Structure 1
Amino acid sequence: DKVAIISSGFEGAMISAAALLILYDAVHKAFTSEAIESVGIGMILTGAAAAVNLVLGLSLLRVGKKRNSPVLRANGEHVLADVWTSVAVLAALGLVQFTGWRGWDPICAVLAGGKLLWTGWRLMRESFGGLMDEADLTVEKELRDLLYAGCATHQLSYHNLRHRHSGRTHWVEFHLVFPDETDLHHAHEIATEIEAKVASLLGDDVRVISHLEPRSAEHQEERWELR
């Protein structure tokens, strides 16, 4: 899982490097007057490549989000980066041909380079967060809302909620506090029901662990928590 996260960050670094090269080339073109040749053929070939890459990139993103795969999402972003580059080229060629002003070429290149630089930075930032097991605040709120509703239904309480992403897997752990007179079998059924709701909320690859404890022992610290 960590290898997948590192791979995603590497994809982001590659996109960022490409963005910097595009920006450098844009600045160079702004101070030179290079002729643009084969505009018609270039637009046709670039448009065809952009269409193919758009379908491929969106498919990779969709599957990556569905399977919670950072590698597939990063590959999708990488392919879509090529789409943005192609769109910038098409826009530059069209504007230069229509207006006759070559300044559109570096302007479109700067816009494309800026977009790619942002995409690369975002992938590297997400990769770093994954390596550090950074908590997702949106998921945190959804989990707390679900646990609060589930506990209210069965007149329980919860504490010690912990969760983190590790590659494709989301790990969740929490303590459920039951009245002392609750039958163990009944408590297990309730805990299993709440665990299933948590798993349904977060997707397919989820590991949910609940710790059951009586209300009289709610504030007692387990030895493993003191490590």
Structure 2
Amino acid sequence: MNQQKRIILISLITGTVLMVMKFAAYFLTNSNFVLTDAAESIVNVVASAFAFYSIYLASVPRDENHPYGHGKVEFFSVFIEGALIGIAGLIIILKSSYSFFNPEPIHDLVLGSVIIGTTGIINGVLGYYMIKKGKAIPSITIEADGRHLLTDTVTSAGLVVGLLLIYFTKILWLDSALSIIVGLYIVFTAYKLIRRSVAGLMDETDFAIVSEVVKVLSERRHEEWIDIHNLRAQKYGHELHIDCHLTLPNYFDLNRVHEEVKLVDKLINDEAGIRTEFFIHTDPCLPYCCHYCSMPNCPIRSEAKRDEIPWTLENVMRNKKHYEQ
């Protein structure tokens, strides 16, 4: 968590400095196109401040009111960031639409381009770093903030090109027209962030993460693990919670069952790349399981093994043993 706080704090300080630079460029040029970037920088600062708080809250230990911890606040943070970006985009579109029909003189475009280009490069480097770190930790808040900064870099690059185009062509209405295009791009980016946050808040399955879990289980499965089914996953910030049913030989005593459950838990936490909390319900095997069971020297086997049922995403997420498929 200290690493996450440090990254967000760097983003917050950098965003504040860049915001001042962008508004200086706007007052220097009086360009709506520059204002689009300056207005979005306000969102960067506010979003980073909220992200800093959400990461702090996500690190608070679970309590009676929050038995699964406070990790979901990170999804809420991403929602706020997306909403703020969307509002900024809509304001930019409205102001630029008005200015399209009522253009105002603009000036010092070359100097403004230099300032905006510099801020874009800084945002690009920081955004790439945050996305890389956000995936490694993992933290959806840091990754979302990084993607936002990369969006800002794309905006700044387009801004520099547009300002130079206006400077050389002297076509003033391009300032507002290009601002509208950038505003639409910002709104689309906001939609993607909101969509992702709502998916997390509604416990939508993250198939990339679950697929990796299933892959590890399949490649490292033990002969005692007859099947895994009814697997469900929920993300709580940087932590994954999985419910599943594990079928084991029905002659195992409680101690052996407990050991097998611990092995599943340890395997995923060691090799799946994400901290995972398991809630495993164990099922006893039935005679119908024998035809795909690999357990050697089984004292109750009713028939020889004749099928190999792979553990695929589709198989393990079904709410029934494999023999019922």
Unaligned runs of 5+ in 1: 220-227
Paired letter, 1:63: K
TM value normalised by structure 1: 0.80
Paired letter, 1:175: H
What are the superposed Cα offsets for residues 83-142 of structure 1, whole Å, 9 maximum, x if unpaired? 233223212111112333334323322332122111111111222222222212333444
Inter-partner Cα distance in structure 1 for 2:223 and 2:116: 58
TM value normalised by structure 2: 0.58
Match of 2:59 in 1: none
Match of 1:58 in 2: 128
Match of 1:41 in 2: 111
SS state at 2:172 partner: coil
SS state at 2:116 partner: helix
Displacement of 1:14 after TM fit? 0.7
SS state at 1:25 partner: helix
Paired letter, 1:57: G
CA distance change for structure 1 residues 17 and 155 in 2, over 3 Å: closer, same or farther?
Answer: closer
Paired letter, 1:93: L
Equivalent residues in 2 for 1:119-198, closer than 5 Å? 119-151=189-221, 156-181=226-251, 190-198=260-268
Greater per-residue helix proportion: 1
Inter-partner Cα distance in structure 2 for 1:73 and 1:218: 46
CA distance change for structure 1 residues 218 and 115 in 2, over 3 Å: closer, same or farther?
Answer: farther
Inter-partner Cα distance in structure 1 for 2:241 and 2:116: 44
Match of 1:199 in 2: 269
CA distance change for structure 1 residues 151 and 218 in 2, over 3 Å: closer, same or farther?
Answer: farther
Match of 1:18 in 2: 88
Inter-partner Cα distance in structure 1 for 2:281 and 2:81: 39
Contact 2:130 2:145 in 1 (8 A): yes
Inter-partner Cα distance in structure 2 for 1:53 and 1:211: 47
Match of 2:308 in 1: none
Worse-matched range after superposition: 187-196 or 110-119 = 187-196
Calculate percent identity across the aligned residue pairs.
28
Paired letter, 2:175: D
Match of 2:317 in 1: none
CA distance change for structure 1 residues 199 and 107 in 2, over 3 Å: closer, same or farther?
Answer: farther
Match of 2:305 in 1: none
Inter-partner Cα distance in structure 2 for 1:14 and 1:86: 18
2:71 maps to 1:71 = no
